[in-house]
Amino acid sequence: MKKSRFYLLKIFLFISILFTSGLAFNPEIDYYIVVDKAKNLLFLKKGEKVISVYKVGTGIKSLLFKERRGDFLTPEGIYKIVEARPSKHFEFFYLLDYPNCNDIFWAYFKGRIKRFNKKRICKILGDGIGIHGGGAFRDGFHWTKGCIALDHKDLLKLKPYLFVGEKVFIVNSQKTLYEILKKFVKPVQVVPYKIFKGELYLKIDPVTYYHFVIKETINGEKRLIVEKFVRGGKKFRIISMADGRFRPRQRFLEESFRRMLLRELNKIEF
pLDDT of 25 > 50? The answer is no
Mean pLDDT value of segment 105-127: 94
With contact defined as beta carbons under 8 Å apart, do 59 and 72 qualify? yes
Please give the pLDDT value at position 21.
44
Please give the pLDDT value at position 26.
47
pLDDT band for position 88 (cuts 50, 70, 90): confident
Q: Are residues 122 and 184 in the same domain?
A: no
pLDDT of 20 > 60? The answer is no
Helix axes 118-125, 101-109, angle to 10 degrees: 80
Q: What is the pTM of this model?
A: 0.90
Domain end marker among 171, 200, 234: 171
Q: Give burial (CB, 10 Å; 0-12/13-18/19+) of 53.
A: middle
For residues 67 and 80, what is the distance between their CA atoms, to the nearest angstrom? Answer: 19
Handedness of CA 259, 149, 267, 76 (dihedral sign): positive
The rounded percent of the chain whose pLDDT value lies above 70 is: 89
Q: Are residues 197 and 162 in the same domain?
A: no
Strand order in the sheet with 77-87: 49-55, 41-46, 31-36, 167-171, 77-87, 91-96, 130-132, 148-149
pLDDT of 16 > 80? The answer is no
Question: How many domains does the chain divide into?
Answer: 2
Q: Domain limits at 225? A: 177-269
Residue 27: asked if its preceding bond is cis (omega within 30°), the reply is no
For residues 17 and 224, what is the distance between their CA atoms, to the nearest angstrom? Answer: 29
Q: Are residues 187 and 141 in the same domain?
A: no
Q: Are residues 195 and 122 in the same domain?
A: no
Q: Are β-strands 222-230 and 233-239 bridged in parallel, bridged antiparallel, or unpaired?
A: antiparallel
Please give the pLDDT value at position 89.
85
Domain end marker among 121, 138, 171: 171
Q: Are residues 117 and 216 in the same domain?
A: no
